[in-house]
Structure 1
């Protein structure tokens, strides 16, 4: 029999895709952009969503003394088995007339936004000298070779603002499972003092959800739905808060530099990403765009959930408390088999045309 755990220590609220401790100031409930990496076989990264940033900065070296080339080869980034793999490798590689001894990948999202929430579910490399990062930059950054630069690149770093959602491997003396978030602004950049960190569990072998919740008033960072650091300067101006314009997402694994000495025995290692999701406030009116007559039973359920509505159901999706999509059903059916799921709280999204209904369900 599956065990059913009652959450008693914290007060939880149901948000767009998960139950999270009620500390974020704005709950973003509308999925506006995502990559689930759910393609069959082994494939290149989806070029509709991502751009490979490979152009070296002036001088032939990446920032912070990093030692890698970023490439657009499938050797360094690919999608397989429902996951994105960003692979750092030890190999002699010549590009742009410069030879380096390590390669990796640096992806720019072709989506940018102002205010919302980013969830990235990932496993991380931990070898000495590796520097995996999940982060954002202002779309207006003046950085030759970046996806947005040619059209929007008017502003130098750090005036564009940088939000480090997760970085690992540049913190001497810390637990191997320590991850950090940071903000880079004109008032605090380089070795910024606007930062916070947390120790996770076995980040190399366990998936964790790394999140950033960005409102007009504060930016909060979460590990598996729990806030561990919030940036909320008293004075918000161009020096402290360049976060009122579009930012885009970057995923990369750097090598060396401030990340420390690379292990001489290093051959290759990967950051493995299950999904990247961006949520914003719903632009839809609840009364006009909600399926009004939805009922879900039994609730709690054990083996099957039945959905009652006069509307034609186009799709149903079930999410766990960490925002991972557990089930997706596109057949026009009003039953959902949950017999193989663990006991706990879930969020059921039901879609019909341009309408949607969300229901909290319990499986026991």
Structure 2
């Protein structure tokens, strides 16, 4: 009887242990071959107001996106960047349900300037004030690549930008305000950062920023999130916060973030690009904006 009772106890203990391990994910974990998934957080913004799921194949949705290709004065993008942005499908297209932004090494002439690299820069035709932005993306790689997912105020005075073309461009950068949800430099692989630029903190002197190391930024999808309210901005990856901006004194220098902003997607190429670089892609599964 004693041996039989012990055997039953072992069986019950084993079953309970198996159920515990299965429940906690220690065994039979969820497949994460494509994404690490989102760790949900409480949010005041739960109504979807705009999105692009990038379904289908071929050109991007011109009802939602504008290709910004016009070079700034001087013939190069700010910061000494060395790419042309184009509106060709070679550099931006839908494929298998994903948006593909492609940076390529190729000789390309446009606007009287010859450059050795091409990429794409998209402006959203939707602008909003406050909300939660979620982007599920896989980033390009290569020393000298600089992908970004960010927001600019639609009042920025920037010739060639979508909202400037619509007559809204009245305020110069950085006074207009900029919100960088994601930046990734190929020279610092798997470190992603977020920042805010304004009249009190901008350019190489920006002090309002933070970041984190993530696993396989270029081989796995991650969810990049901005939570933007009247009080603060919170930046996270897969639900893990790495930067919060909440200035105690909100004025026109520190908080120009009370008006409409639009989304920008781009891959820039820095002058120190790896000479062996040929091509790399930023894949985006979706962009969703909630209010």
Superposed structure 1 runs of 4+ greater than 2 Å apart: 1-7, 18-22
Cα RMSD for the two superposed structures: 1.9
2:265 matches 1:254: no
The CA distance in 1 between the partners of 2:215 and 2:124, in whole Å, is: 28
The within-5 A match list for 1:77-156 is 77-150=92-165, 151-156=167-172
Gaps of 5+ in 1: 8-17, 281-364
Q: 1:20 aligns to what?
A: 40
Q: CA deviation at 1:265?
A: 0.6
Report what 1:275 is aligned to.
Answer: 286
User: CA–CA distance in 1 between the matches of 2:101 and 2:78?
Assistant: 19
> How far apart in 1 are the matches of 2:69 and 2:23?
48
Please say if 1:36 is aligned against 2:50: no
Which whole-Å CA distance do the structure 2 matches of 1:57 and 1:160 have between them? 17
Contact 2:86 2:120 in 1 (8 A): yes
More strand as a share of residues: 1
Could you say which residue in structure 2 is the equivalent of 1:179? 192
Task: Tell me by how many angstroms 1:59 deviates.
Answer: 0.9
Contact residue 20 and residue 226 of structure 1 kept, 8 A: no
1:163-312 to 2 correspondences below 5 Å: 163-169=179-185, 174=188, 176-191=189-204, 192-257=206-271, 261-280=272-291
Please give the alpha-carbon distance, in whole angstroms, between the structure 1 residues aligned to 2:157 and 2:25. Answer: 50
2:173 to 157, 161, 168: 157
TM-score (norm 2): 0.86
Greater helix share, structure number: 2
CA distance in 2 between partners of 1:60 and 1:81 (Å): 35
The question of whether the paired residues in 1 share the 8 Å contact of 2:157 and 2:169 is answered with yes
Structure 1 length-normalised TM? 0.69
Tell me which of the two structures has the higher relative contact order, counting C-alpha pairs closer than 8 angstroms and 6 or more residues apart. Answer: 2
Higher Cα Rg, which structure = 2
- CA distance in 2 between counterparts of 1:212 and 1:6 reads 28
Q: CA deviation at 1:27?
A: 2.0
Write out per-residue CA displacement over residues 8-56 of structure 1, whole angstroms, 9 at most, x where no aligned residue.
Answer: xxxxxxxxxx75245xxx52000000000111xx310110110000000
Q: CA deviation at 1:226?
A: 2.0
> Aligned equivalents of 1:256 and 1:29: distance in 2?
38
| Structure-2 separation of matches of 1:250 and 1:234 | 28
Q: How many residues of Structure 1 are paired with residues of Structure 2 in the alignment? A: 260
- Indicate the residue corresponding to 1:316 in structure 2: none
- Contact kept, 8 Å, 2:39 with 2:238, in 1: the verdict is no
